[in-house]
């Protein structure tokens, strides 16, 4: 029986904290040894991998993703390594070339990254602007990616806290008739932000962040009078903020802070006599350096495949009837 061809690969660990990379008692290398038959030896700033070509290639991808996770989050655990191995073997994440630029966050379940052309523009614009407006229909990933940007910045130590906010506009329901105290009444409006966070962080870590005040989820009205330093601030459903509320929110930003404002100007729930602050701001701030605008369309919808068809149907209906969606 012919022996399988053996190859060897040398992977450089440039600008990598070796102790964090290896883990306690080489705990981050053990998952690789358990899942692959290839030999893995770390000497100084080099990882030597020896085995059949397919395994060596897979281990190389795992090692490079380990380096990326460590340099992105500042830490690496054996549980992260198991996740990376699973993703690599499933062919979900192969990081090379420009792929690095599209990845936003390693979440507790998967890798969150830009998937559509406008989402890629979104990730680039976030890096280039301190205030960014993301405008487009539901299901395009505006809010989910915004929360991922914020969580990533918090994990990296770029900011010290995340503040997520929404206007509590009564869209067909009256808060006064809902059961419970004010917090219980307002929670349904903030629930989508909790859902996004729960997708990205283990429950105990999320609870710890909230208890320590490192993550706040508050109605827009509660932002008045605050100065937000070293923070990542997100205003969701911003089409339902009035002009004065939008100005109030934008002027809360302090040193070393970033803000993302998301909304859909076709879904305004304000009374007819109130103009949306998101509509106004497109004209008022369009020429200010450091303020960016990204526009999404139905081609960016990443929810269930029927969502795009539903959006198309509503657009057609309201265009034919001359009404706002």
Query: In this predicted model, what pLDDT tens digit does every residue of 207-234 receive, in sequence order?
Result: 999 999 999 988 888 888 898 999 999 9
Contact in structure between 31 and 81 (CB atoms under 8 Å): yes
d(CA 155, CA 14): 21
| Domain presence at residue 101 | no
Same domain, 51 and 162: no
The predicted pLDDT at position 77 comes to: 81
- Say if residue 28 is in the same domain as residue 167: no
**Rounded to an integer, what distance in angstroms lies between the CA atom of residue 80 and that of residue 28?**
9
Same domain, 57 and 205: no
Distance, in Å, from the CA atom of 258 to the CA atom of 129, rounded to the nearest integer, reads 8
Q: Mean per-residue pLDDT for 92-115? A: 66
Question: What is the extent of the structural domain holding 286?
Answer: 113-321
What pLDDT score was predicted for residue 149?
93
Average pLDDT estimate for 37-58: 91
Identify the residue with better confidence: 301 or 200.
200
Question: Per the domain annotation, does 253 fall within a domain?
Answer: yes
The answer to whether residue 322 scores a pLDDT higher than 80 is no
Q: What six digits make up the tokens of 178?
A: 């809902």
Whether residues 77 and 148 share a domain: the answer is no
Same domain, 186 and 46: no
Say if CB 231 and CB 205 are below 8 A apart: no
- Per the confidence metrics, is the pTM higher than 0.75? no
Q: Does 174 map to a domain?
A: yes
Closest CA to 169 of 248, 314, 250, 274: 274
* Same-domain check for residues 158 and 303: yes
Q: Rounded to whole angstroms, how far apart are CA atoms 316 and 176?
A: 36
Check residue 97 and give its pLDDT: 41
CATH number of the structural domain spanning residue 66: 3.30.1370.10
> What CA–CA distance (Å, rounded) separates 83 from 192?
26
* 183 vs 235: CA distance, rounded Å: 19
- What stretches of the chain show up as alpha helix (H) in DSSP? 18-22, 30-35, 53-73, 78-89, 99-102, 117-128, 142-156, 182-200, 203-211, 243-250, 277-284, 305-321
Is the pLDDT reported for residue 282 higher than 80?
Answer: yes
Has residue 177 got a pLDDT over 50? Answer: no
Local confidence band at 82 (pLDDT 50, 70, 90 cut-offs)? confident
What is the pLDDT, as a whole number, of residue 323?
54
DSSP letter at 2 equals: P
Identify the pLDDT of residue 260: 97
pLDDT of residue 94: 45
Do 204 and 166 share a domain, yes or no? yes
Question: Count of domains in the chain?
Answer: 2
pLDDT for 98 beyond 90: no
pLDDT band at 248 (very low <50, low <70, confident <90, very high): very high
The verdict on 186 and 45 lying in the same domain is no
Output the domain CATH number for residue 127. Answer: 3.40.50.300
Task: Please tell me the predicted confidence (pLDDT) of residue 1.
Answer: 43
Say if residue 45 is in the same domain as residue 191.
no
Residue 104 domain-assigned?
no
42-46, 57-61, 84-88, 99-103: least confident range: 99-103
**Mean pLDDT in the chain?**
83
My answer on whether 21 and 57 are in the same domain is: yes
Q: How far apart are CA 7 and CA 52, in angstroms?
A: 6
Given pLDDT bands bounded at 50, 70 and 90, which one contains residue 172? very low
Q: Does the structure show a pLDDT above 60 at 175?
A: no
Write the CB contacts of 64 (distance below 8 Å, at least 6 apart in sequence).
11, 95, 96
Which pLDDT score, from 0 to 100, does residue 324 have? 52
Q: Which of 41, 63, 96 is the last residue of a domain?
A: 96
Q: Both 213 and 314 in a single domain?
A: yes
User: Which one has a higher pLDDT value, 12 or 324?
Assistant: 12
């Amino acid at each position: 029986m012919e022996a399988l061809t053996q190859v060897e690969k040398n992977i450089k660990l440039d600008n990598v904290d070796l102790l964090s990379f290896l883990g306690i008692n080489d705990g981050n290398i053990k998952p690789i040894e358990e899942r692959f038959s290839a030999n893995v030896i770390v000497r100084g700033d080099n990882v030597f991998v020896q085995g059949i070509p397919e395994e060596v290639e897979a281990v190389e991808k795992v090692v490079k993703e380990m380096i990326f996770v460590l340099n992105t989050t500042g830490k690496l655990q054996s549980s992260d390594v198991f996740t990376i191995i699973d993703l690599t073997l499933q062919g979900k994440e192969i990081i090379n070339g420009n792929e690095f630029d599209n990845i936003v966050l390693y979440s507790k379940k998967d890798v969150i990254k830009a998937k559509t052309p406008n989402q890629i523009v979104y990730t680039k614009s976030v890096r280039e602007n301190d205030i960014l407006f993301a405008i487009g229909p539901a299901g395009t990933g505006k809010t989910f990616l915004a929360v991922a940007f914020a969580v990533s910045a918090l994990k990296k130590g770029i900011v010290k806290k995340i503040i997520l906010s929404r206007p509590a506009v009564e869209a067909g329901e009256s808060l006064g008739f809902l059961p419970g105290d004010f917090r219980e009444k307002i929670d349904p409006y903030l629930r989508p932000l909790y859902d996004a966070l729960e997708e990205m962080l283990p429950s105990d870590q999320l609870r710890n962040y909230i208890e320590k005040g490192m993550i706040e989820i508050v109605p827009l009205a509660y932002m008045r009078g605050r100065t937000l330093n070293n923070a990542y601030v997100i205003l969701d459903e911003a089409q339902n903020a009035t002009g004065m509320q939008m100005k109030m929110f934008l002027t809360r930003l302090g040193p070393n802070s970033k803000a993302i404002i998301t909304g859909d100007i076709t879904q305004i729930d304000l009374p007819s006599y109130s103009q949306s602050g998101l509509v106004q701001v497109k004209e008022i701030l369009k020429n200010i350096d450091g303020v960016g605008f990204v526009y999404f369309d139905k081609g960016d919808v990443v929810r269930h495949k029927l969502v795009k068809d539903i959006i198309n149907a509503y657009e057609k209906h309201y265009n034919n009837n001359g009404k706002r969606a």
